Amino acid sequence: MRYDFGSDNTAGMAPAALEGLIAANAGYARAYGSDDITARAADQIRQRLDADAEIRFVFSGTAANAIALSMLAWPHEAVLAHHAAHICTDETGAPGFFGQGVGLIGLPGFSGKIELASLQAALDEPEVGHRQPAAALSLTQATEYGAVYTEEELRHLIEPVKARGYGVHMDGARLANAAAAGFDLTQIARLGVDILVFGGAKAGANCTEAIVMFDKSLARRIDNRLKQAGQVASKSRFLAGPFLGLLESKAWEDGGAHANLMAQRLAEGIVANTPFVLAHPVEANAVFVRMPPRAHQRLNELGWACYRFDDGSVRFVCSWATREEVVDEVIEAMRGL
């Protein structure tokens, strides 16, 4: 491949994350998360969120999301989420596995944002003994279609859920991109989110994410829960070290901003120079393009990795590592299709 726009997971570790990992490797450190590096990385996250919270570092976003949801819903209950959310489409039933039967209720909405009317309709459904009632809401920021919820949009979705005593989870795999787009991270806890997955892998770390519990009662026996799920690292510093490198250097923010900028450059070039149209507004680091199958196939054959998404559009994802000249090259390739 000349370049892989298939996912921001295809980029390697950002230099700051790699330096953080190397620094974490020096000398000896206490095991199982009681080391200084893990504590410092957690403090960096708390500072950005301007909130007190219990934080644990785990090996994957799927595990982080699924374990988080298992804290908010009983096995006979369900979680409300956009039908294109990662938990609904790409986690192989992990919420139900970790939650011992927790269900998912998919809701519609353009660009991956839950439509308020559909949420209200789901909340108004009568509870009967023959289906799993809703007990929590899951939100994705930025969404699977690269949209960024505003604070007001989140408030309108969260308030009716909290009024019923339900929990709220936020999948922040691309939270760095949402922050770079102008979303204020300090509002997450204030809006009533109970548990957040603070993204590391897509921001330039290795395979590591942070579970952030604003509702500290959720942390009761969390270490036992994580141990049972195979998500406790004996050398926790190697999960926290890349986070620490990204956060202390501000590369977490800078990488998100760069990825968003490359996506804007790509989108503008496609609109101005190719016969194709955008399928969704470009607010974070993903660009979705309406492209016939033959044109998409030809682009892949030319060495440009990108794939068709759930809605039929072709997705291009930029990362901290995307270069301007590569963006210009793929635009030129698309011009000739």
Res. 1: pLDDT tops 90: no
Taking the C-alpha atoms of residue 260 and residue 223, their distance in angstroms, rounded to an integer, is 35
For position 2, what pLDDT does the model report?
A: 77
* Angle, helix 237-249 to helix 15-24, in steps of 10 degrees: 130
**pLDDT average, residue stretch 69-95:** 97
Residues whose CB is less than 8 angstroms from the CB of residue 228 and which lie 6 or more positions away in sequence, other chains included: none
Phi, psi of 179 (to 5 degrees): -65, -40
pLDDT digit string (tens) for 229-246? 999 999 999 999 999 999
Query: Which DSSP category does 219 fall into?
Result: G
pLDDT digit string (tens) for 123-163? 999 999 999 999 999 999 999 999 999 999 999 999 999 99
**Pairing between strand 134-140 and 307-308?**
unpaired
Peptide bond into 51 cis (omega under 30): no
Edge-first strand listing for the sheet containing 54-58: 54-58, 209-213, 195-198, 167-172, 134-140, 78-82, 103-107
For position 136, what pLDDT does the model report?
A: 98
pLDDT digit string (tens) for 236-285? 999 999 999 999 999 999 999 999 999 999 999 999 999 999 999 999 99
The encoded tokens of residue 271 equal: 């609109």
Res. 29: pLDDT tops 80: yes
Concatenated DSSP letters of 126-148: PP-TTSPPEEEEEEESS-TTS--
The encoded tokens of residue 102 equal: 């927790």
For 188, the enclosing helix (H) or strand (E) is: helix 187-191
Quick check: 169 and 193 in contact, CB under 8 A? yes
Taking the C-alpha atoms of residue 39 and residue 16, their distance in angstroms, rounded to an integer, is 18
Cα dihedral sign, 322-326-328-333: negative
Half-sphere exposure of 103 (CA within 13 A, CB side): 11
pLDDT digit string (tens) for 50-69? 999 999 999 999 999 999 99
For 231, the enclosing helix (H) or strand (E) is: none
For position 172, what pLDDT does the model report?
A: 98
Res. 193: pLDDT tops 80: yes
Half-sphere exposure of 126 (CA within 13 A, CB side): 3
